[in-house]
């Protein structure tokens, strides 16, 4: 769409003049539109009736179409809206229209555009085509008023488990009834055919503190009328930002069903002491000219190139414009809504650097106002270039400008396992030299440390985090190869046992590093995705976790569980100030590649352990290190771990087995 083809504001654009001047005049025209930040946008129902208010400053007329069903019927009524303050249009009906559906339609540039449920639909019918008028209080599960997520003082006390609803429950081995649904996470006591815990019981057994659910707002790709065909999608194709996805509900045609079932999921997890983090994708929409943004305020919510075409920092065909007031309001109010209405405990921002730092700071401020335990993290990069100046982007390199926000460390990710997009490339844990300094950057959570030389870093060349609470450490996620597949593709010829050792070493580095650990669901039982790196629409046969693996790889599961227990028991792994990291972490001089040895000293962060010694050997060979003489507890050695200790050591010359972590601790 060429934005110049529409009269944005009469007389504000010099149409037919491409280039920077046209773009600048577009920008100033958008900037001159009045913003509206009231909490009553689109729909409110009270004792006086049902009230509609659409923000559509460029429209010449706006109407509401009322329906008695969610699709396939003609409008039962049409209401003309009247111009109101700050670019909005309003109309009221003196009755509570619960149970009805509605859409908006705007006249723009002399033409009626397609109908849209608006951008603020909090309830929708099948495929999100029509918004629904629902009494939200009626969707609350019993006890909802007392529902609360886990208290979080610092984000790095959290252990994040990233999962997709279908991956987690859809496999026949899950023993879960509501496969691929929100309700899967409400089922207690589920077991695999082999008797292992699955579902919420599995999460409790593993010990993670929060699940991060892949996009669960209403997305575009899965046809909600064809659920038996079991189509799969990650959901990074937003359609309605403020209503849950219908395919995860038991009945997409019932607007209440998806809302109530998602709340029931949140409540069951909260009752189990587990928090819920939502993956949010405000950076782009599934559609361009036909998105709900475009159909309510054409052009306004997006960035454009000088020729008027959509700019595309998302790699998905468009990018939103968080620097414009109404878009910024939208993002801030939307996350606030999820926090208030659904009791969401954290937000993961997809391609966060498409947003500006000011918007992200406002997001954090608003969320902390709802609940101080809420935290925010995101991908500190874009997928393509953006018209937004680099210094304004919420990049990982700009994270110091965003207090209370954390970014994924691609530094530690690629250094441990090898480059994410080069399948055969190895990393520190799989024997490739040259990644040691970047792993150290990960260990100190990208904060300034006197013994870490950022010039030797593979990715970032400076200490970009102002505190370890600004870093999310991980070795894999839903994107790219799973850790298991990466090891299969890079450790060619190695045994399965060797690969599992490498996985343990990799996660030991992640879970003992400063910052917040993040893991991909199922890696604790060595799940794979049959080598598919971009499984966003692959079938369940690729994406589903086979829970029989929990028995087959029981040693792996037990290792992960102990690793998590170790981290939770010891605040030394969870320092909150960069100065403490610089003071308490001391790296040892070691000979040769693929070997890192360091201590966390002097009861760091109030730990009962005076000193923790960690040695990581990513090479194929056993390596000898010198440990200070003393009374050490052996916590991890040769692919085994126990947070209470697996033995003792007097120190001195010590062999560290190939591809393994040695962890020792002493109280005196
Ligand atoms: Ca949908």
In the predicted model, is pLDDT for residue 10 greater than 60?
A: no
CATH number of the domain to which 594 belongs: 2.60.40.1180
Q: Is residue 153 part of a domain?
A: no
Which tokens in the block code for residue 334? 């939307």
Q: Is residue 241 part of a domain?
A: no
Angle at which helix 357-370 crosses helix 325-342, to 10 degrees, equals 30
Confidence of residue 11 (pLDDT cuts 50, 70, 90): very low
Using alpha carbons only, what angle is made at residue 229 by residues 259 and 162, rounded to the nearest 5 degrees? 55
Q: Is residue 5 part of a domain?
A: no
Confidence of residue 21 (pLDDT cuts 50, 70, 90): low
Among 350, 523, 524, 607, the active-site one is: 350
Over range 633-660, report the average pLDDT.
98
Q: Mean pLDDT in the chain? A: 95
Q: Is residue 47 part of a domain?
A: yes
Task: Report how far Cα 266 is from the mean position of its chain's Cα atoms.
Answer: 16
Q: Is residue 267 part of a domain?
A: no
Which tokens in the block code for residue 107? 């006249």
Q: How far is the CA of 339 from the centre of ligand 1 (A)?
A: 21
Residue 9: what pLDDT?
33
Over range 231-244, report the average pLDDT.
98
Q: How far is the CA of 549 from the centre of ligand 1 (A)?
A: 31
Residue 5: what pLDDT?
30
In the predicted model, is pLDDT for residue 3 greater than 70?
A: no
- Among 409, 534, 419, smallest CA distance to 472 is for 409
Q: What would the 3-class secondary structure string for 332-370 be? A: HHHHHHHHHHHCCCEEEECCHHHCEHHHHHHHHHHHHHH
Q: How far is the CA of 128 from the centre of ligand 1 (A)?
A: 6
CA of 219: how far to CAs of 124, 285, 319, 401, in Å? 12, 9, 16, 31
Residues 171 and 97: their CA atoms lie apart, in Å, by: 41
Q: How far is the CA of 103 from the centre of ligand 1 (A)?
A: 16
Q: How far is the CA of 68 from the centre of ligand 1 (A)?
A: 20
Confidence of residue 24 (pLDDT cuts 50, 70, 90): confident
Residues 397 and 463: their CA atoms lie apart, in Å, by: 9
Q: Is residue 592 part of a domain?
A: yes
Confidence of residue 25 (pLDDT cuts 50, 70, 90): confident
Confidence of residue 313 (pLDDT cuts 50, 70, 90): very high
Total of domains in the chain: 2
Q: How far is the CA of 479 from the centre of ligand 1 (A)?
A: 21
Residues 143 and 136: their CA atoms lie apart, in Å, by: 15
Q: Which residues surround ligand 1, an ion (CB under 5 A)?
A: 218, 246
Among 261, 379, 480, 607, the active-site one is: 379
pLDDT tens digits, one per residue of 244-282: 999 999 999 999 999 999 999 999 999 999 999 999 999
Over range 85-95, report the average pLDDT.
98
pLDDT tens digits, one per residue of 180-236: 999 999 999 999 999 999 999 999 999 999 999 999 999 999 999 999 999 999 999
Residues 223 and 233: their CA atoms lie apart, in Å, by: 10
Strand 275-280 versus strand 210-213 pairing type: parallel
> Is the Cα dihedral 533, 537, 542, 548 positive or negative?
positive
In the predicted model, is pLDDT for residue 8 greater than 70?
A: no
pLDDT tens digits, one per residue of 271-312: 999 999 999 999 999 999 999 999 999 999 999 999 999 999
667 given a catalytic annotation? no
Burial 117-141 (b: 16+ CB within 10 A, else e): bbbbbbbbbbbbbbbbbbeeeebbe
Percent of the chain with pLDDT over 90: 96
Q: How far is the CA of 218 from the centre of ligand 1 (A)?
A: 4
pLDDT tens digits, one per residue of 434-459: 999 999 999 999 999 999 999 999 99
Q: How far is the CA of 281 from the centre of ligand 1 (A)?
A: 14
pLDDT tens digits, one per residue of 327-383: 999 999 999 999 999 999 999 999 999 999 999 999 999 999 999 999 999 999 999
Confidence of residue 27 (pLDDT cuts 50, 70, 90): confident
> Is the Cα dihedral 239, 241, 243, 247 positive or negative?
positive
Q: Is residue 2 part of a domain?
A: no
Q: Is residue 191 part of a domain?
A: no
CATH number of the domain to which 118 belongs: 2.60.40.10
- CA torsion 586-592-596-597 (nearest 10°) is -50
Boundary residue ending a domain (121, 139, 157): 139
Q: How far is the CA of 162 from the centre of ligand 1 (A)?
A: 21
SS3 203: helix
Boundary residue ending a domain (115, 139, 163): 139
Q: How far is the CA of 352 from the centre of ligand 1 (A)?
A: 23
Q: How far is the CA of 221 from the centre of ligand 1 (A)?
A: 7
Residues 268 and 176: their CA atoms lie apart, in Å, by: 15
Residue 99: what pLDDT?
98
Confidence of residue 19 (pLDDT cuts 50, 70, 90): low
SS3 664: strand
pLDDT tens digits, one per residue of 535-579: 999 999 999 999 999 999 999 999 999 999 999 999 999 999 999
Confidence of residue 75 (pLDDT cuts 50, 70, 90): very high
In the predicted model, is pLDDT for residue 509 greater than 60?
A: yes
Q: How far is the CA of 219 from the centre of ligand 1 (A)?
A: 4
588 given a catalytic annotation? no
Q: How far is the CA of 511 from the centre of ligand 1 (A)?
A: 35
Boundary residue ending a domain (90, 119, 139): 139
Which tokens in the block code for residue 94? 């003196």
Q: Which domain holds residue 616?
A: 583-666
Is-contact 656 545, C-beta < 8 A? no
pLDDT tens digits, one per residue of 361-372: 999 999 999 999
């Amino acid at each position: 769409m060429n934005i110049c083809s529409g009269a944005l504001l009469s007389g504000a654009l010099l149409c037919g003049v491409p280039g920077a001047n046209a773009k600048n005049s577009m920008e100033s025209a958008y900037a001159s539109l009045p913003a509206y930040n009231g909490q009553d946008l689109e729909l409110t129902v009270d004792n006086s009736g049902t009230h509609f208010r659409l923000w559509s400053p460029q429209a010449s007329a706006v109407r509401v179409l009322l329906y008695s069903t969610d699709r396939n019927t003609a409008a039962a009524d049409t209401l003309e809206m009247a111009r109101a303050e700050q670019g909005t249009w309003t109309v009221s009906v003196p009755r509570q229209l619960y149970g009805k559906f509605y859409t908006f339609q705007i006249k723009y540039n002399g033409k009626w555009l397609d109908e849209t449920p608006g951008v603020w639909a909090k309830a929708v019918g099948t495929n999100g085509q029509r918004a629904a008028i629902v009494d939200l209080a009626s969707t609350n599960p019993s006890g909802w008023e007392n529902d609360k997520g886990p208290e979080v003082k610092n984000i790095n006390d959290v252990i994040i488990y990233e999962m997709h609803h279908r991956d987690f429950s859809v496999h026949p081995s899950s023993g879960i009834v509501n496969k691929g649904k929100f309700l899967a996470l409400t089922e207690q006591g589920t077991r695999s055919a082999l008797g292992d815990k699955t579902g919420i019981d599995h999460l409790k057994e593993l010990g993670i503190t929060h699940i991060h659910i892949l996009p669960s707002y209403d997305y575009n790709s899965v046809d909600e009328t064809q659920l038996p065909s079991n189509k799969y999608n990650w959901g990074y194709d937003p359609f309605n930002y403020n209503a849950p996805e219908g395919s995860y509900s038991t009945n997409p045609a019932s607007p209440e069903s998806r809302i109530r079932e998602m709340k029931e999921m949140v409540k069951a997890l909260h009752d189990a002491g587990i928090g819920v983090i939502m993956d949010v994708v405000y950076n782009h929409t599934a559609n361009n000219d036909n998105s709900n943004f475009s159909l309510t305020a054409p052009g306004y919510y997006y960035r454009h190139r000088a020729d008027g075409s959509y700019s595309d920092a998302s790699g998905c065909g468009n990018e939103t414009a968080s620097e414009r007031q109404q878009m910024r309001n939208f993002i801030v109010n939307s996350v606030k809504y999820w926090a208030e209405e659904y009791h969401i405990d954290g937000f993961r921002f997809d391609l966060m650097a498409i947003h500006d730092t000011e918007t992200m700071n406002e997001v954090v401020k608003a969320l902390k106002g709802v609940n101080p335990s809420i935290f925010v993290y995101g991908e500190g990069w874009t997928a393509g270039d953006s018209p937004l100046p680099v210094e304004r982007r919420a990049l990982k390199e700009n994270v110091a400008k965003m207090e209370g926000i954390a970014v994924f460390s691609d530094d530690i990710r690629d250094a441990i396992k090898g480059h994410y997009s080069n399948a055969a490339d190895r990393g520190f844990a799989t024997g490739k030299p040259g990644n040691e300094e970047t792993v150290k950057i990960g260990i100190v959570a990208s904060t300034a440390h006197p013994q870490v030389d950022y010039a030797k870093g593979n990715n970032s060349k400076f200490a970009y985090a102002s505190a370890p609470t600004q870093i999310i450490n991980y070795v894999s996620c839903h994107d790219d190869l799973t850790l298991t597949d990466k090891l299969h593709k890079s450790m060619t010829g190695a045994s399965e046992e060797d690969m599992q050792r490498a996985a343990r070493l990799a996660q030991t580095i992640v879970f003992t590093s400063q910052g917040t650990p993040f893991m991909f669901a199922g890696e604790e039982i060595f799940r794979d995705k049959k080598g598919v790196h971009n499984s966003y629409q692959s079938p369940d046969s690729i994406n589903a976790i086979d829970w029989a693996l929990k028995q087959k790889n029981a040693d792996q599961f037990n290792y992960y569980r102990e690793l998590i227990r170790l981290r939770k028991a010891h605040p030394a792994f969870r320092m909150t100030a960069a100065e403490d990291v610089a003071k308490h972490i001391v790296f040892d001089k070691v000979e040769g590649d693929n070997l890192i040895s360091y201590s966390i000293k002097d009861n760091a962060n109030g730990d009962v352990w005076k000193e923790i010694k960690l040695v990581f050997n990513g090479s194929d060979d056993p390596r000898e290190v010198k440990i200070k003489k003393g009374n050490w507890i052996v916590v991890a050695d040769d692919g085994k771990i126990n947070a209470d200790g697996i033995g003792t050591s007097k120190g001195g010359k010590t062999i560290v087995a190939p591809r393994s972590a040695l962890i020792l601790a002493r109280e005196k």
